[in-house]
Structure formats: C-alpha cells, structure tokens
Amino acid sequence: MFAFRAIRPVVVNTTQSVGYQNRNYATLKEIQLRLKSVNSIAKITKSMKMIASTKMTRAQKSMEVARVFGATQTALFTHADTKPTEGGNTLIITVSSDRGLCGGIHSSVSKRSRKLIQENPNSQLIVLGDKAKAQLSRTTRENIKLSFNQIGKAVPTYNEASSIADTILKEKIEFDQAVIVYNYFKSVISYEAKTIPAFSVSTFEKSGNFDAYEVEDDVLENLQEFAFANSIYWGLVEGHAAEMASKRSAMENATKNAGEMIEKLTMTYNRGRQAAITNELVDIITGASAI
C-alpha cells in the first residue's frame, strides 16, 4: 500500500503536466508560424522600399525638368494678367495613379477636388488614375466626364500628357479655365495638394496684357494646346515623385513595425520555451523525489 500511495501522485502529476505541455507546444508552434510570416512580410516591405527609393531618384530628376517648363508657362499667364472668366466653365483635372500602398497621397488630391467642386458645383471633372476615381465616384459621380488609367507604373512622359490633352480636346469638353489638382513634392517625407492653372484661347485673349504679345490666331491655338499638355505633364511628374516618396516612407514604416513585432514574438517564444523546459524539469525532479 505504501508503494501504491507513493506512485499514484506521480502518475496524476505527469498526466497534468503532459496536458499543459501539449497546450504550450501548440502555442509555441503558432508563434513560430507567426514569426515566419512576419519575417516574410518584412523582407517584402524592405525590398519594396528599395525599389521605391530607386524610382524616387529617377522621378525627382524628371520632376526638376518639368518644374522649369511649368514655372515658365505659369509666368506667361502671370505677365499677361490672365484671370479666370467669371461664371465660365471650369474643368478640374485630378492627378493620381492606379496603385496603392503609398499612404494617403490619393486622398489629398481627392479632398482638394471635392472642395473645388463644392465651390463650383457645375464644374466638370476628369480623373487620372483609378484610386482617385474610386474615391471621387462616391460623391461626385455626376461631375466626372472622363477618366484615364494605366498611369504611374513608370515616370510619366510628355507623350502621355499630350495624349491625355488630345483626348480631352477631341471629346470637345468645353472649358474657359482648367484647374489641375496634383501633389506637390515638398520633401522626401512631405507633400501637399496644389493646383496648376490652364486657360482656353478665348480666356487668354481677354488677358489684360495680351496686346503686348503679337501672336497670330493659329499660333495662339497651338500655344494653348502646348500649355495645356505641359500643365498636365507637370502635374503627372510632380505627383509621381510625391507618390514614390510616400510609398518609400510607407514601406519604411511597415518594415520598422514588422521588426518591432518580430522582437516581441521572439521574446514571447523564448519565454514560453523556457517555461516549458522549466516545467519539464520540475516534473522530473518531483517524480524522482517521490520515488
């Protein structure tokens, strides 16, 4: 009887410890799977950050060139004292892209476009990029006249901007003044939604200092088309640079968050493993002492 009483507690304790170990091992396995998943995500976000950094460098070079042409064109309208026609037709062109994973960069131009439409409800809207189109379609679907996609995969070219401008003019969308809403590249970590003005031939002819420019009618029409395409190109290139910078920041933050999660999971795994080993040693020592 003495031997039976000495062995019985050992059997019961062993059974309880086995159940605890099974639950613990299952938890440790889940942590291992989670660690593996987070490590894979961290590698992907780190690679995407490197790709975005490379694209951002190229985009900045193109942006600097586009800014020179854009500033020169804006100076022309400023010197000519060109002003929007009161009560005229306003065309809003929202510049975005088809891709995400770049923070709230698309929301900024969408909010600015909504504000402009609230100020002038009869404005016509053209959207470049599926992201802004999805956001603007919820509240301003009636104002959207045209939309373009397949934009933003690479650094935009002037040919793409010219094609967009030609399509708008061929569709005979009449406007007195156009407002191009884009993301202005302030720094690697900062951007701001701004606008670029563009005007029709009739509006430009009404400029206060238009007489100072001896421009023939056919040349004036070509000038207007060039200025319109140039404004779209400036907005596309500037927005692309801001998008790549925002995507780089987003992937950097994602990689940092993944690293912090890996540290926490690793610590949790090590603590659980140490607890399982300690429990096994306690069971062994307890069994040996009881025997």
Q: Reply yes or no on whether the pLDDT at 66 is more than 50.
A: yes
Average pLDDT value for residue range 258-265? 88
Check whether domain 54-248 has CATH 3.40.1380.10, yes or no: yes
pLDDT at res. 94: 92
pLDDT higher than 60, residue 59: yes
pLDDT attached to residue 152: 65
Beta carbons within 8 Å of 183's beta carbon, 6+ residues apart: 95, 105, 108, 109, 191, 192, 193, 194, 238, 239, 242, 243
So where are the chain's domains?
A: 54-248
Task: Note the pLDDT tens digit of each residue in 136-170.
Answer: 888 888 888 888 988 767 888 888 889 999 999 88
Q: Would you place residue 24 in the very low, low, confident or very high pLDDT band (cuts 50, 70, 90)?
A: very low
pTM confidence score: 0.76
- pLDDT score of 11: 37
pLDDT at 219 over 90: no
Asked if the model's pLDDT at residue 134 lies above 90, the reply is no
Interatomic CA distance for residues 182 and 95, integer angstroms: 5
Mean pLDDT of the chain: 81
Higher pLDDT, 12 or 197: 197
Inform me whether the pLDDT recorded for 3 exceeds 70: no
pLDDT, mean of residues 266-291: 80
> Which long-range CB contacts under 8 A does 145-153 form with residues at least 24 apart?
145/171, 145/173, 146/171, 146/173, 149/98, 150/98, 151/96, 151/97, 151/98, 151/236, 152/96, 152/97, 152/98, 152/99, 152/240, 152/243, 153/98, 153/99
| DSSP assigned state of 149 | -
pLDDT of residue 207: 79
CA 106 remoteness from chain centre: 6
Mean pLDDT of 59-69: 86
What does the pLDDT average to over 44-50? 87
Question: What's the rounded Cα separation, in Å, for the pair 74 and 213?
Answer: 15
pLDDT tens track for 225-247:
888 999 999 999 998 888 888 88
**Residue 267 binned pLDDT confidence (cut-offs 50, 70, 90):** confident
Query: What confidence score (pLDDT) does residue 25 get?
Result: 42
